Structure 1
């Protein structure tokens, strides 16, 4: 069976990896290099403990309150586009406790084997930098701490070998030296990991090439309608045909689908980050600053700081330095001091593909069953890449058995 994968991010590469293992003849097409977009610009976390939907009770009202703050961690850009407004209205409808808990169950189920799948990839020769240090989440608000602790209790019931503990007082000061005394406390999880996302996409690319996957990079792909309801993939002047087409183009997925008159409920969520130099008095383990929504990831060659969630129309990759600098300005609320930077840091940005209910879209297009969609993972693209890739391979051969397929279906939203 011949399959074309459009998109060489973590999701597309994982899909190509598992499709090739299943015996498919696979071609990966991308306008850029592997991992050049959001797959290379993220916190690098594999986090079953944070596999929760973005739409949560109180999320949208908070984003609207912060709309006028140029450095806020969560914001909604105003637009009069009917499609954009419709998307935001659907997201608002999903900001209920019942829908959040339902989404939490789906993401917990999807996450439960991701650590083992990463281990299996590594055993198969997929090379990437990974760390098993516990993740510490810091809170300035006691109510936010209690809320997340309740979510972790739910996660513990769904994910094998996942553990967590509460950090207060001397325990917190010992685990995270230099925190401000006003903190409400912290939560520490065991069973989460961190990795260098660029090394992951490089490792997957190398493994796919080793196994015989063809890559066509630097060329933009478009879907075009063909005879009898089938589709072709247009690359330059060439029209390619395949038994299955996987569209894993992240925030750009609808641009790919436009050629066949299709679209899915998808918007971009802009994140920012910095790669800072390693310093002896810098952070040694991954941390999450809960209210600031900032992730801190120490890696072998740098410390990555990532965060913010900005909803906007289209795929705007322009960098707002004020917005990015909000990440650095949030640090004093959690730490008594932070290592000084020898030179001003340069920010980067990445667009996360967002759906109205915070769950990914994994499955066939309703009118084109040979086109499989794999996108909408929000901030969990790296974390959920292996289980998504495996599920895509199962769907391609008609053997998928997940009980949550309807919750991941492409047609679950009204456009």
Structure 2
């Protein structure tokens, strides 16, 4: 193991920038490259949930009942295009193969150690000079019927059994939650979680990384990453000279396969696209997140409005925005709110989350010496990004793999 004095991080989202920040903490000179800009991928328009209590495998046994129905429902949260795509259908077959109780429990056991470190890692960023805030707030969780709450409560109990503290409680009947309509008949609260305004938070992290001496280069399209003869690694950037450093981290989200196919990373990464928009709220603002699990819709306070996010759309990461998916989210929650203007939408957005078949991220060494990967978090890149970056920086600079990322070996 040679000393790591310099590193290139490819990807300026939460995971990449958190890795860069922690490498700087260990005295490494860092350059960050991104083909578009800071938070230009799924780090901008997501719900901003810091919910380790809900960071669980996406493939669960309920998919066997929900999936076929969703394929026939244009308003369903799960969306798969009807077309011949061998790679996509191969991914879905592997994804569904993990939707068993045993596979879910094994994946949950693997996620729990890093879940338990997630909020502490945010505290470290904020106390270390990142000028942004993560907000403590109770989650309001609503269902139209009592029976709809049972799968959610069951999952949260399974998360608790795996080793997390889960503070979930039922709101007494007759107690109205502001801005929820009478159609929401079963309401719960979940404590101990946080949220952020994701785009501004990631921009603040980039500002901190830059202020501590890193070069953050945008419009930098990386075409290849490889081991350098004589040690270290090198990066080809379209229109630029080859860049060299002691280590390279590929943190490009749903675009990971573009650079990792030749690095021994065999686990497929599929874009699971999410959509969001923001709407105004009349009367007192909604100052806490709202979740409708049966509708798979997440809502978060965002710059005086309410950001509403949903959908898991399995398409290519660069395919066009699909307006029908926004309509599906609106249709699924219309009637569940009061004083929320769903027809005055702004900031309509789509972003591609990197989903793996087994529900586990890809974090660690590749088969190419000096090259590492950090991604594949699915829906949980925001909550697990800082903890991932801290652990990977430790591996890069010491050669030892922290326990919390051992199950995420990219060569598995």
SS in 2 for 1:40: helix
Q: Is the 8 A contact 2:44 2:198 kept in 1?
A: yes
Q: Is the 8 A contact 2:225 2:259 kept in 1?
A: no
- Say if 1:403 and 1:255 are closer, same or farther in 2 by CA, change over 3 A: closer
Task: State the partner residue of 2:334.
Answer: 332
Q: 1: distance between equivalents of 2:144 and 2:353? A: 26
Task: State the partner residue of 1:399.
Answer: 400
SS in 2 for 1:153: helix
SS in 1 for 2:122: helix
- Say if 1:261 and 1:284 are closer, same or farther in 2 by CA, change over 3 A: closer
- Say if 1:220 and 1:120 are closer, same or farther in 2 by CA, change over 3 A: same
Q: Is the 8 A contact 2:253 2:353 kept in 1?
A: yes
SS in 2 for 1:19: helix
Please report how far the alpha carbon of residue 86 of structure 1 lies from its aligned counterpart in structure 2 after TM superposition: 1.9
Q: 2: distance between equivalents of 1:383 and 1:404? A: 15
Please report how far the alpha carbon of residue 258 of structure 1 lies from its aligned counterpart in structure 2 after TM superposition: 4.9
Q: 2:108 aligns with which of 104, 124, 141?
A: 104
Query: 2:19 aligned with 1:15, yes or no?
Result: yes
Q: 2:235 aligns with which of 233, 236, 244?
A: 233
- Say if 1:371 and 1:78 are closer, same or farther in 2 by CA, change over 3 A: farther
How far does the alpha carbon of each residue in 1:347-390 deviate from its partner, in whole angstroms, 9 at most, with x for none? 2111100000111111111x214211111111111111111101
Please report how far the alpha carbon of residue 242 of structure 1 lies from its aligned counterpart in structure 2 after TM superposition: 1.6
1:115-134 equivalence runs, <5 A = 115-134=119-138
Q: 2: distance between equivalents of 1:293 and 1:130? A: 23
- Say if 1:307 and 1:156 are closer, same or farther in 2 by CA, change over 3 A: same
Q: 1: distance between equivalents of 2:110 and 2:370? A: 24
Query: 2:77 aligned with 1:73, yes or no?
Result: yes
Q: 2: distance between equivalents of 1:33 and 1:96? A: 39
Q: Is the 8 A contact 2:291 2:299 kept in 1?
A: yes
Q: 1: distance between equivalents of 2:125 and 2:405? A: 24
Q: 1: distance between equivalents of 2:37 and 2:405? A: 32
Q: Is the 8 A contact 2:388 2:405 kept in 1?
A: no
Please report how far the alpha carbon of residue 271 of structure 1 lies from its aligned counterpart in structure 2 after TM superposition: 0.7
SS in 1 for 2:106: helix
Task: State the partner residue of 1:204.
Answer: 205
1:16-415 equivalence runs, <5 A = 16-59=20-63, 61-156=65-160, 162-171=166-175, 173=176, 175-176=177-178, 178-181=180-183, 183=185, 185-225=186-226, 226-227=228-229, 231-235=233-237, 236-258=239-261, 264-281=267-284, 283-312=286-315, 314-335=316-337, 337-340=338-341, 343-345=344-346, 347-365=348-366, 367-397=367-397, 398-402=399-403, 405=406, 407-412=407-412
Q: 1: distance between equivalents of 2:115 and 2:170? A: 22
SS in 1 for 2:174: helix
Single out whichever of 38-47 and 52-61 deviates more from structure 2.
52-61
- Say if 1:283 and 1:317 are closer, same or farther in 2 by CA, change over 3 A: farther
- TM-score for the superposition, normalised by structure 2: 0.91
Please report how far the alpha carbon of residue 71 of structure 1 lies from its aligned counterpart in structure 2 after TM superposition: 2.7
Single out whichever of 84-93 and 277-286 deviates more from structure 2.
277-286
Q: 2: distance between equivalents of 1:318 and 1:283? A: 32
Q: Is the 8 A contact 1:137 1:287 kept in 2?
A: yes
Q: Is the 8 A contact 2:142 2:292 kept in 1?
A: yes
